[in-house]
Chain A
Amino acid sequence: MPSSPSAAPAPGQTWDFSDITGSNDSLRRFLHGLPGVDQVGAESRAASLGTRSIKTTAKAYALDLAIRMVDLTTLEGQDTHGKVRALAAKAMRPDPADPTCPAAAAVCVYPDMVGVAKEVLGDSGVHVAAVATAFPSGRAALDIKLADTRDAVEAGADEIDMVIDRGAFLSGHYLQVFEEIVAVKEACRRDDGQSAHLKVIFETGELQTYDNVRRVSWLAMMAGAHFIKTSTGKVQPAATPPVTMIMLEAVRDFREATGQMVGVKPAGGIRTAKDAIKYLVIVNEVAGPDWLDPDWFRFGASTLLNELLMQRTKMTTGRYSGPDYFTVD
């Protein structure tokens, strides 16, 4: 760890990592000096948190919170303007039959759909997130990735979900990955001086080891990521509880070291309300309750929202209803 918590900078001030990020060697030494992750132990801890029994009032709270954390996502070649408009409307009013149902956090689309989504969402408070940087593979030249990012920001994206260059990371070119994140963050600036929030996607299914997940989390946080995100949803395995837990440990330790909070977004493969609640338990007990907020934790998902809504309706009416009573995406 760079330093003890007492040495954290004053609020608003940013931490200086230049000693670490000055060269690929020093960055590598730092990342490889982080404590290792024991796979068996990490998986059993995540599984044991999954046995928490969340009932009645706790479940009602968790369901509403999970709905507020959903980045309602459509990332298909066959996406249409109509589908994106429908998705945006749904994000604002997930359950048209129940005005007490909270809105989702954001809709997540390809850059060319940002304008369409923005038109519907306006200043509703629901954000538009755009995947950029040659999503999902990230295989393009840097200037193309930056142009992709600027295009989405200019179209009105509030949040950019970038992918890292996994090839560079796996071959040990950590500084290249770092500098790319820094450059994309720069490209997130808007003319008005504000910036789109940057989520950095690791594609943990390709990074394979938990040690790599911990290292890439620190790398992205030092590069200025606002959020760290597990997956594109296009590669299996996508988000898993242990991977998300290790990222939550990283953001917890990073705040302890620097005073800065970074958000976490598991994406892909979270389909049931039960799964979502397990993730919230992990957030609560590993990172702490400060992260139980859509500003600091999101679910990248599409079908999950309807599952949450069905469970929510069951909680309020006492009856299960079928998928026909909720809108298709």
Chain B
Amino acid sequence: MTFDYAPAPESRTIVDIKASYGLFVNGEFVDGTGTSFKTINPATEEVLAEVAEASEADVDAAIKAARRAHTRVWSRMPGKERAKYLYRIARIIQERGRELAVLETIDNGKPIKESRDVDIPVVAAHFFYYAGWADKLEHSGYGTRSLGVAAQVIPWNFPLLMLAWKIAPALACGNTVVLKPAETTPLTALLFAEICQQADLPPGVVNIVTGAGATGQALVGHPDVDKVAFTGSTAVGKAIARAVAGTDKRVTLELGGKAANIVFDDAPLDQAVEGIVDGIFFNQGHVCCAGSRLLVQESIADELLTKLKRRMSTLRVGDPLDKNTDIGAINSAAQLARIHELSDIGELEGAGRWSPECELPTTGFWFPPTLFTGVTQAHRIARDEVFGPVLSVLTFRTPSEAVEKANNTPYGLSAGVWTDKGSRILHMAGALRAGVVWANTFNKFDPTSPFGGFKESGYGREGGRHGLEAYLKGGE
């Protein structure tokens, strides 16, 4: 007899998914005039709901509502009053945390362990944090006047968390928002709209328009938008930058990454292995700041790889609602195809592919945790963002070689450094061209800490005091 963990599924009865959803405009749910689309559970391919598509006219109506709310209510409201709404939203998120976590897991495919222990608590923390700023903006260093209407477009990897990163600072600074969630993961944003109603947020302060690329284009291209905030792929980010060029819209972009996770020979190895696993297998690797390139010092490469493979063999892939699942479903068929394509290229280019033995479910979208050894800077899996549970392993001999390889990428969102030597951490943090450098940890998020990229990973910062700059007019 062995210690086989029996299924421990989180109940989904707490969640009430409607057959169809409209748009959230001016405090009410309204029908969209576009062609509605379906959102599915990526773990089972079951259709969850029919969701309205916002046409150009719908987007225009949402922006008008946001403009009215900004002019008449929100920008005039004292900061301490705005704070009360944000605190209320934060508390409701905590109270309805289990419902939000289950819904996020069903719509996105991420393990309940992560939506319950990471996504939702950090979402609440963001609203609490920025609620605290609302009446203290004169101490921000970026002025106190809001920009106006913010058009916000977010990705599918952390649906509610990215919503919080966008909405909490915007509202704290007195802006109103029109937000478009990703077309594969709209449900928690729509539940958030209900929470806005529950919190009695004035109509039009938050508007949610669902849809795909065309809706997003209509939103960011609309002439009455003062600010565009986007998180997603570098390709779309570039298109947005072109679309807003020549206008006076302010823009922040948080785009792709190909982060180096650098392990020196004096690193705490067992914890480094955990950090590598958290870095690339957290959220199925659907993380823009994922540590997708492991740079390990040659003298410990074999030992570290042995430990890493053993650890990967204990990862539990399967039903995202099972409380013991470590790796859930890939978010969509399209993303799964992309991961397959790049992994196959990795193999063709001669890198050694390895995955632990694991049984994948037969329906839904799945990819086993995978690592490639013998990868060089020239391999595509070392250059292109895979956005999946695929780790490229490279080696280095000297600290300067580590820096050179880590920085040799068009991206620069994050990096990790593992060493017991404090001085080396400080040296590396200065030398790495990445917005976030984690030392002896990885993929840790906190509302007080700014986040953002170098180079093709985008511009602007979200989180912390720095995150206020994107939503205030500055100097006074």
Contact indicator A37/B6 (Cβ below 8 Å): no
Contact indicator A57/B6 (Cβ below 8 Å): yes
Q: A37-B270, A38-B271, A41-B271 are in contact. Are A51 and B117 (CB under 8 A)?
A: yes
A293 → chain B closest CB, angstroms: 11
Alpha-carbon distance between A256 and B306 when the two chains are bound, in angstroms: 11
The answer to whether the Cβ of B324 comes within 8 Å of any Cβ in the partner chain is: yes
Instruction: Mark interface residues in B380-420 (1 if CB within 8 Å of A CB, else 0).
Output: 00000000000000000000000000000000000000001
> A37 to chain B: which residues have CB within 8 Å?
268, 270-271
Q: A40-B440, A53-B323 are in contact. Are A284 and B268 (CB under 8 A)?
A: no
Instruction: Mark interface residues in B431-445 (1 if CB within 8 Å of A CB, else 0).
Output: 000000000110000
A28 → chain B closest CB, angstroms: 17
B416 → chain A closest CB, angstroms: 12
The answer to whether the Cβ of A9 comes within 8 Å of any Cβ in the partner chain is: no
Contact indicator B268/A58 (Cβ below 8 Å): no
Alpha-carbon distance between A41 and B266 when the two chains are bound, in angstroms: 15
Instruction: Mark interface residues in B1-19 (1 if CB within 8 Å of A CB, else 0).
Output: 1111111100000000000
For chain A, which range describes its interface: under 10, 10 to 19, 20 to 34, or 35 or more residues?
20 to 34
Alpha-carbon distance between A292 and B269 when the two chains are bound, in angstroms: 24
B218 → chain A closest CB, angstroms: 43
A38 → chain B closest CB, angstroms: 4
Contact of B274 among A45, A59, A65 (CB under 8 A): A45
A63 → chain B closest CB, angstroms: 12
Alpha-carbon distance between A205 and B133 when the two chains are bound, in angstroms: 42
Q: A35-B269, A35-B270, A285-B314 are in contact. Are A40 and B323 (CB under 8 A)?
A: no
Q: A36-B268, A42-B271, A61-B1 are in contact. Are A51 and B113 (CB under 8 A)?
A: yes
The answer to whether the Cβ of B49 comes within 8 Å of any Cβ in the partner chain is: no
The answer to whether the Cβ of B267 comes within 8 Å of any Cβ in the partner chain is: yes
Alpha-carbon distance between A45 and B275 when the two chains are bound, in angstroms: 10
Instruction: Please give me the residue from chain A that is nearest to B326 by CB atom.
Output: A48
Contact indicator B268/A35 (Cβ below 8 Å): yes
**From residue 31 to 58 of chain B, which have CB atoms closer than 8 A to chain A?**
none
> A62 to chain B: which residues have CB within 8 Å?
3
**From residue 308 to 324 of chain A, which have CB atoms closer than 8 A to chain B?**
none
**From residue 241 to 258 of chain A, which have CB atoms closer than 8 A to chain B?**
246, 249, 256
The answer to whether the Cβ of A168 comes within 8 Å of any Cβ in the partner chain is: no
A226 → chain B closest CB, angstroms: 23
Contact indicator B271/A45 (Cβ below 8 Å): yes
> A36 to chain B: which residues have CB within 8 Å?
266-268, 420
Alpha-carbon distance between A317 and B118 when the two chains are bound, in angstroms: 37
Instruction: Mark interface residues in B117-159 (1 if CB within 8 Å of A CB, else 0).
Output: 1000000000000000000000000000000000000000000
Contact indicator B6/A59 (Cβ below 8 Å): yes
The answer to whether the Cβ of A13 comes within 8 Å of any Cβ in the partner chain is: no
Contact of A289 among B2, B6, B266, B441 (CB under 8 A): B2
> A56 to chain B: which residues have CB within 8 Å?
6
Q: A38-B440, A51-B117 are in contact. Are A58 and B6 (CB under 8 A)?
A: yes
> A65 to chain B: which residues have CB within 8 Å?
3
What is the interface size of chain B, counting residues whose CB is below 8 A from a CB of the partner? 26
> B1 to chain A: which residues have CB within 8 Å?
61
Alpha-carbon distance between A289 and B268 when the two chains are bound, in angstroms: 24
B328 → chain A closest CB, angstroms: 15
**From residue 273 to 302 of chain A, which have CB atoms closer than 8 A to chain B?**
280, 284-285, 289, 292
The answer to whether the Cβ of A54 comes within 8 Å of any Cβ in the partner chain is: yes
> A38 to chain B: which residues have CB within 8 Å?
268, 271, 440
Instruction: Mark interface residues in A126-142 (1 if CB within 8 Å of B CB, else 0).
Output: 00000000000000000
Instruction: Please give me the residue from chain A that is nearest to B302 by CB atom.
Output: A4
Alpha-carbon distance between A249 and B420 when the two chains are bound, in angstroms: 19
Alpha-carbon distance between A79 and B288 when the two chains are bound, in angstroms: 62
> A292 to chain B: which residues have CB within 8 Å?
2-3
The answer to whether the Cβ of A29 comes within 8 Å of any Cβ in the partner chain is: no
Contact of A249 among B270, B323, B440 (CB under 8 A): B270
> B5 to chain A: which residues have CB within 8 Å?
52-54, 58
Contact indicator B117/A41 (Cβ below 8 Å): no
Alpha-carbon distance between A285 and B312 when the two chains are bound, in angstroms: 11
Instruction: Please give me the residue from chain B that is nearest to A252 by CB atom.
Output: B310
Contact indicator B441/A58 (Cβ below 8 Å): no
Alpha-carbon distance between A289 and B440 when the two chains are bound, in angstroms: 29
Contact indicator B3/A41 (Cβ below 8 Å): no
Instruction: Please give me the residue from chain B that is nearest to A41 by CB atom.
Output: B271
> B268 to chain A: which residues have CB within 8 Å?
35-38, 41-42
Alpha-carbon distance between A58 and B3 when the two chains are bound, in angstroms: 6
**From residue 266 to 300 of chain B, which have CB atoms closer than 8 A to chain A?**
266-271, 274-275
Q: A58-B3, A284-B3 are in contact. Are A42 and B8 (CB under 8 A)?
A: no
**From residue 32 to 87 of chain A, which have CB atoms closer than 8 A to chain B?**
35-38, 40-42, 44-45, 51-59, 61-62, 65
> A41 to chain B: which residues have CB within 8 Å?
268, 270-271, 274-275, 440-441
> B7 to chain A: which residues have CB within 8 Å?
55
Instruction: Please give me the residue from chain A that is nearest to B265 by CB atom.
Output: A35
List 4 additional A-B contacts (Cβ < 8 Å) besides A45-B270, A51-B323, A65-B3.
A37-B270, A38-B268, A41-B268, A58-B6
A-to-B contact residues, CB < 8 Å = 1, 35-38, 40-42, 44-45, 51-59, 61-62, 65, 246, 249, 256, 280, 284-285, 289, 292
List of 7 A-B pairs having minimum Cβ-Cβ separation, nearest first: A41-B271, A53-B8, A53-B323, A38-B268, A38-B271, A35-B269, A58-B6
Give 19 CB contacts A-B under 8 Å: A35-B269, A37-B268, A38-B271, A40-B440, A40-B441, A41-B268, A41-B440, A41-B441, A42-B268, A42-B270, A42-B271, A44-B274, A51-B113, A51-B323, A52-B324, A53-B324, A54-B8, A61-B1, A284-B3
